[in-house]
Homo-oligomer: A and B are copies of this chain.
Amino acid sequence: MDQNDHSHLNPAKGYSAINAEPRVRPDELAAFVENVFLRIGMDEASSKAVTRVMMHGSRLGVDSHGVRLLAHYIKEIDGNCINKQPKPKFTRTRPGAGVLDGDNGHGGFVATVAMDHAIALAREAGIGAVAIQRSNHFGAAGAYPMQAVEAGLIGLSTCNTDAFVHLHGSKLPFHGTNPFAIGAPVAGQRPWLLDFATSSIPVNRVMLYRSLGIGVPPDTAVDSEGKPTTDSQRATGLLPLGGTLFGFKGAGLGGLAEVLSAALTGMRASVDIPAWDSVGKPRELGQFVLAIDPEAFVPRAVYDGIMTGYLASLRGMEPAEGAEPPMAPGDREWRIEEERKLNGIPIDPATFRVFAEAGERFGLTPPKVLQGNA
């Protein structure tokens, strides 16, 4: 492949998923990850919640935020960033609002607890929002709206991260990739699930392209002077969604993540957050979750009818010549999930090495490679 080949970028072809072999059974993978957390001293609630969030990524093909994060989390636990036995403290401040002090627990646990509170608030107040303080990296943002969806509600999660994304026109990075994930239930179907970074591509994608020796897509990345580049070797930062001409929109959305995750939580803006791989003390991240009860606005049957009608129209739209049939947010992920249920979850070689090390350290057997895929 060369720097101008972007054929692998077609999202209909599952570009963000690892498709390499070997594969492992989802249940075995989940059990192994959870046991690593238990053996390292994390309490049961944290271990369970973090495993669910990581498995959300690995099941749905969001591999950048799946089990490959295990090495990073072990490093953060060993490095005293993450409290292994946190006692998060929730304060309900108003009928529809509350604050969760995460006690420096793992972000996957803290945000799960926060969304449970947001759901409870929304059931009563119609809408519920929880500002999260003193958290850590929360992994796949889409895992939290899924809690709301399973309760029949609409859910939203967002966070800010250390700075990787340039402003529309800045020499240096200023925002994190500051994702938003929103999920809405759909009667009798998998939900509508939108999970996106406010840059065009995530940082990990640049790293991947660099290691593959291929170029980054035009108008997505910049060099150390803030100048757009398609050379993955020279790319040091990302452009906001919308690129050089319309990046003010992506940068604005990145800013919205800052308003919600920093200004409403009392935590830090991206530009002041310690680097993602720094250890030694808690990173004290802010996050924000929200739930909406559709039945506070319309009868359930009305909501259901409009959602299913809208999605049937969307999926029935004729594709432009050469394009794949239009998909709703989440459709690609649910397709990958089905395929992986049948064939197992692919694990990259670096993550397998992490599993072997963790297995040895904690006396656990890593998940077996499935026959026929080895």
Chain B contacts for A99, CB-based, 8 A: 297-298
A255 is contacted by which of B9, B194, B225, B264 (Cβ under 8 Å)? B194
**Assembled-state Cα–Cα distance A168/B317 (Å):** 11
CB distance from A5 to the nearest CB of B (A): 13
Asked if residues A326 and B168 are in contact (CB atoms below 8 Å), the reply is yes
CB distance from A26 to the nearest CB of B (A): 26
Asked if residues B263 and A294 are in contact (CB atoms below 8 Å), the reply is yes
Chain B contacts for A324, CB-based, 8 A: 169
A297-333 interface with B by 8 A CB criterion = 297-298, 302-303, 306-307, 309-310, 313-314, 317-321, 323-329
A76 interface contact, C-beta 8 A: no
A170 interface contact, C-beta 8 A: yes
Chain B contacts for A29, CB-based, 8 A: none
**Assembled-state Cα–Cα distance A318/B173 (Å):** 10
Asked if residues B252 and A194 are in contact (CB atoms below 8 Å), the reply is yes
**Assembled-state Cα–Cα distance A127/B297 (Å):** 15
Chain B contacts for A94, CB-based, 8 A: 124-127, 293, 296
Of chain B, the residue at the smallest CB distance from A259 is: B184
Chain A 270-308 against B: per-residue CB contact (8 Å), 1 yes, 0 no?
Answer: 011000000000000000001011101110001100110
A54 interface contact, C-beta 8 A: no
A249 interface contact, C-beta 8 A: yes
Asked if residues B96 and A225 are in contact (CB atoms below 8 Å), the reply is no
A111 interface contact, C-beta 8 A: no
Asked if residues A129 and B126 are in contact (CB atoms below 8 Å), the reply is yes
**Assembled-state Cα–Cα distance A172/B318 (Å):** 7
**Assembled-state Cα–Cα distance A126/B296 (Å):** 16
CB distance from A167 to the nearest CB of B (A): 4
A246 interface contact, C-beta 8 A: yes
Chain B contacts for A217, CB-based, 8 A: 245
Asked if residues B269 and A174 are in contact (CB atoms below 8 Å), the reply is no
**Assembled-state Cα–Cα distance A258/B308 (Å):** 12
Asked if residues A128 and B131 are in contact (CB atoms below 8 Å), the reply is no
Asked if residues B269 and A309 are in contact (CB atoms below 8 Å), the reply is yes
Asked if residues A313 and B125 are in contact (CB atoms below 8 Å), the reply is no
A1-32 interface with B by 8 A CB criterion = 6, 9, 11-12
Can you list 23 contacts pairing A with B, beta carbon distance less than 8 Å? Answer: A9-B245, A94-B293, A95-B96, A95-B125, A97-B293, A99-B298, A127-B127, A129-B296, A169-B326, A171-B320, A174-B314, A194-B256, A227-B321, A251-B329, A255-B328, A255-B329, A262-B310, A264-B292, A264-B298, A265-B298, A266-B303, A266-B306, A272-B313
Closest 7 pairs (CB-CB, A-B): A97-B126, A226-B320, A94-B126, A169-B323, A96-B96, A96-B125, A97-B296
